[in-house]
Chain A
Amino acid sequence: MAINMHEYLLDVQDLHTSFFTDSGEVQAVNGVSFHLDPGEILGIVGESGSGKSVTAYSIMRILADTGRIVGGKILYKGDDLASYSEKQMQRFRGKCCSIIFQDPMTSLNPVFTIGSQMREAVVLHTEKRGEEATARVIELLELVGINEPKKRIKQYPFELSGGMRQRVMIAMALACEPDILIADEPTTALDVTIQAQILELIQELQKKLGMAVILVTHDLGVIANMCDNVVVMYGGRICERGTAREIFYHPRHEYTKGLLRSIPNVNNMKTKLVPISGTPINMLCMPKGCAFCTRCDAAMKICLTEVPEELEINEEHRAACWMNVKEAFEEGGDSE
């Protein structure tokens, strides 16, 4: 490999993460690779339980006790995170990469004021102390669009609405201007108006601070609105990736196609919805071949036994489905 190859902000290579439970090893993430450039917004969609959150937690190294990264590499600006001590990791978590969790109520401590919790984050991750730290807290609250921040810092989480709490979480995550913001379902609990405000805010901050964003969500509308590139996950693997336009208009994996068919059609509300048939996979007994094969209408023999490799559809699009291999092969055969 060339020495001067492009160095990514974040480069996840063949990540494997497992949980060792009483009923056996759960291979939650099973060979995931992707990279992120500064200022990019990458969307991760996928079925519930497909390993989206576990991928995010692996990057931050905040897995449950039973979870372990069992393979692969995560490089931050070329540095292997595995070589970081816990101390360096702590620095990484605030300064380089922050995460916003799905539920703002459980991630804020109910017995402390907004101000004291935010100050703690500022003090932990920056040199600022005393008056200066308080000033920074107020500045951050202003940045996320909370009016009268001087009053708000004296309030407790339950005194704020859901949307305001989520903004406080974002303000905390931004305390030391990280290079990467991971947002794990940041708006699932919110109504559409507040959701739009929060998404607009993330976009604005991404532009203003040049921050890269990993946005995890199962809302395809949110992905279409926000993301440059999209990764689709199924059963612990990436089954398809590409630009948002490629994924929405020319999906090449049967799971992605099924997902897009499941959403109500804006132009024809009277047609029946088409869910993906079959039951979600059981992580404890994964199919031998393609994880989606038991639910796929187009499944062939090879799908049951061999895991499909990712194939380049075009420069902006890759998919891991044997159908594409078959088509490429047949096209090749025709022309020769």
Chain B
Amino acid sequence: MSDVLVDVKNLKQYFPVKTGFFKTLPLKAVDDVSFSIAPGETLGLVGESGCGKTTVGRSILHLYKPTGGEVFFEGEKVTADNIQMMRRKMQMVFQDPYSSLDPRMTVEDIIGEPLDVHKLCSSRSERRERILYLMETVGLNAEHARRYAHEFSGGQRQRIGIARALAAEPKFIVCDEPVSALDVSIQAQVINMFEDLQEKLGIAYLFIAHDLLVVHHISRRIAVMYLGKIVEMAEADEINAHPQHPYTVSLLSAVPIPDPDIARSRKRILLEGDVPSPLKMPSGCAFRTRCRYATEKCAESCPSLTDRGNGHFVACFNQ
């Protein structure tokens, strides 16, 4: 058994976008992304809105057919043919707890669906027992099994989504902004739950979030994306202490620190201008239009992600 559970190689996801009557342009939502995740590991994925985080998660699970590249799970290549089987072991918790659960289904049916799809229970009583066990695991009151999703608060709905993802005993879960909609205290509960489940069941996570403090807390390593590409990747503590890529530096400087004295003495490095349209990408390095170190070289070719030692990868000519 190797120490790689999920291996993503040169993943590309282009969407055709109509720009005129007959013209279609490829929107490069994910462009040549590679990384791997070990069993029981958490990889954090951060970056500006629209940079392709959700798309990476969805492409790994073949919710979109990737335009290019390969994904290996436990050494086996994920294809359209075997994805149904694989999906038992690879699950996703979706960004929005309000719209991702069908409000007309009971909690029992929502959590039971993957059990039925993968035929994991031989009898009705076994199915019921498993559902109650799952509800208990995520801290939901088993008495509420017959209630409808819309009767729960945001934090509780998020737990329902997680119980559902856990139903088929996956080894890997893509968590797409699982705590963004929650209040800080409930956020802490849900994060603790993710960590406990990881300890107990050895699940690996791809953890996508806006809140960099939360990502730092839960992740062993963090990957930073900008316009469809990973620009930096390293151990969580390392990237926070020694960010290299100018985009990562500005991203970290923008994190609001919950401490008035630190917050007031700190200088935010605000980026000039807006993110370029993914349909009209600049030549060379996509970040150069907002980068204060950019040189001619940056316009000519795109820097590749290279190891700077200790597993710290950076894609920049200047840093």
Q: Which of A47, A188, A192, A199 has the most CB of B within 10 A?
A: A192
Q: Is A225 an interface residue (CB 8 A)?
A: yes
**Contact yes or no, B237 A269, CB < 8 A:** yes
Q: Cβ of B264: which chain A residues have Cβ within 8 Å of it?
A: 225
Chain A nearest CB, measured from B61 CB (Å): 23
- If A48-B183, A190-B49, A269-B236 touch, whether A196 touches B254 (CB-CB below 8 Å) is yes
**Contact yes or no, B49 A259, CB < 8 A:** no
Cα distance A273–B261 in the bound complex, in angstroms: 22
Q: Is A274 an interface residue (CB 8 A)?
A: yes
Instruction: Report which of B48, B259, B268 forms a contact with A266, defined as CB distance below 8 A.
Output: B259
Cα distance A245–B264 in the bound complex, in angstroms: 11
Q: Is B63 an interface residue (CB 8 A)?
A: no
Q: Is A218 an interface residue (CB 8 A)?
A: yes
**Contact yes or no, A161 B50, CB < 8 A:** yes
Q: Is A275 an interface residue (CB 8 A)?
A: yes
Q: Is B275 an interface residue (CB 8 A)?
A: yes
**Contact yes or no, B49 A218, CB < 8 A:** no
Q: Cβ of A196: which chain B residues have Cβ within 8 Å of it?
A: 254, 256, 268, 270
Instruction: Report which of A220, A273, A276 forms a contact with B217, defined as CB distance below 8 A.
Output: A273
Q: Cβ of B49: which chain A residues have Cβ within 8 Å of it?
A: 161-163, 190-191, 194
Chain A nearest CB, measured from B249 CB (Å): 11
**Contact yes or no, A272 B258, CB < 8 A:** no
Chain B nearest CB, measured from A20 CB (Å): 21
Chain B residue nearest in CB terms to A273: B188
Q: Is A264 an interface residue (CB 8 A)?
A: yes
Q: Is A219 an interface residue (CB 8 A)?
A: yes
Q: Is B260 an interface residue (CB 8 A)?
A: yes
Instruction: Report which of B153, B217, B260 forms a contact with A244, defined as CB distance below 8 A.
Output: B260
Cα distance A220–B259 in the bound complex, in angstroms: 8
Q: Is A258 an interface residue (CB 8 A)?
A: yes
Count of interface residues, chain A, beta-carbon cutoff 8 Å = 44
Q: Cβ of B259: which chain A residues have Cβ within 8 Å of it?
A: 224, 248, 266
Q: Is A126 an interface residue (CB 8 A)?
A: no
Chain B 182-217 interface residues, beta-carbon cutoff 8 Å to A: 182-189, 191-192, 195, 210-214, 216-217
Chain B residue nearest in CB terms to A272: B192
Cα distance A258–B237 in the bound complex, in angstroms: 26
Q: Is B257 an interface residue (CB 8 A)?
A: yes
Tally of contacts, chain A with chain B, CB under 8 A: 121
**Contact yes or no, B214 A164, CB < 8 A:** no
Instruction: Report which of B185, B210, B268 forms a contact with A262, defined as CB distance below 8 A.
Output: B185
Chain A 235-280 interface residues, beta-carbon cutoff 8 Å to B: 244-245, 248-249, 258-260, 262-264, 266, 269, 272-276, 280
- If A161-B49, A194-B49 touch, whether A280 touches B192 (CB-CB below 8 Å) is no
- If A200-B270, A266-B213 touch, whether A224 touches B257 (CB-CB below 8 Å) is yes
Q: Cβ of B47: which chain A residues have Cβ within 8 Å of it?
A: 191
Q: Would you give the 0/1 interface string for A195-215, flagging 1 where the beta carbon is closer than 8 Å to chain B?
A: 111011000000000000000
Count of interface residues, chain B, beta-carbon cutoff 8 Å = 46
Q: Is B34 an interface residue (CB 8 A)?
A: no
Chain A 136-188 interface residues, beta-carbon cutoff 8 Å to B: 147, 161-164, 188
Q: Cβ of B279: which chain A residues have Cβ within 8 Å of it?
A: none
Q: Is B121 an interface residue (CB 8 A)?
A: no
Chain B residue nearest in CB terms to A255: B185
- If A47-B185, A221-B263 touch, whether A264 touches B214 (CB-CB below 8 Å) is yes
Q: Is A193 an interface residue (CB 8 A)?
A: yes
Q: Cβ of B114: which chain A residues have Cβ within 8 Å of it?
A: none
Q: Cβ of B183: which chain A residues have Cβ within 8 Å of it?
A: 47-48, 218
Chain B residue nearest in CB terms to A225: B263
Chain B nearest CB, measured from A236 CB (Å): 16
**Contact yes or no, B188 A193, CB < 8 A:** no
Chain A nearest CB, measured from B162 CB (Å): 15
Q: Would you give the 0/1 interface string for B246-266, flagging 1 where the beta carbon is closer than 8 Å to chain A?
A: 000011001111111111100
**Contact yes or no, B213 A263, CB < 8 A:** yes
Q: Is A222 an interface residue (CB 8 A)?
A: yes
Instruction: Report which of B154, B237, B254 forms a contact with A193, defined as CB distance below 8 A.
Output: B254
Chain A residue nearest in CB terms to B50: A161
Cα distance A11–B192 in the bound complex, in angstroms: 41
Chain B nearest CB, measured from A53 CB (Å): 13
- If A161-B49, A200-B268 touch, whether A248 touches B216 (CB-CB below 8 Å) is no
Cα distance A47–B189 in the bound complex, in angstroms: 14
Cα distance A193–B250 in the bound complex, in angstroms: 8
Q: Would you give the 0/1 interface string for B155-171, flagging 1 where the beta carbon is closer than 8 Å to chain A?
A: 00000000000000000
Chain B nearest CB, measured from A26 CB (Å): 15
**Contact yes or no, B263 A161, CB < 8 A:** no
List 16 contacting pairs A-B, 8 Å CB cutoff, sorted by A.
Answer: A161-B275, A162-B49, A164-B274, A194-B48, A196-B256, A200-B270, A221-B213, A221-B255, A221-B258, A225-B256, A262-B185, A266-B258, A273-B217, A274-B188, A275-B185, A275-B188
Q: 9 closest pairs, A vs B, by CB? A: A221-B256, A275-B188, A196-B254, A273-B188, A220-B258, A264-B217, A262-B188, A48-B183, A275-B189
Tell me the A residues contacting B by CB distance below 8 Å. Answer: 47-48, 147, 161-164, 188, 190-197, 199-200, 218-225, 244-245, 248-249, 258-260, 262-264, 266, 269, 272-276, 280
Q: A47-B185, A224-B257 are in contact. List 9 more A-B contacts (CB 8 A).
A: A47-B183, A48-B154, A193-B251, A196-B268, A224-B259, A262-B185, A264-B213, A275-B185, A275-B186
Tell me the B residues contacting A by CB distance below 8 Å. Answer: 47-50, 153-154, 180, 182-189, 191-192, 195, 210-214, 216-217, 236-237, 250-251, 254-264, 268, 270-271, 273-275
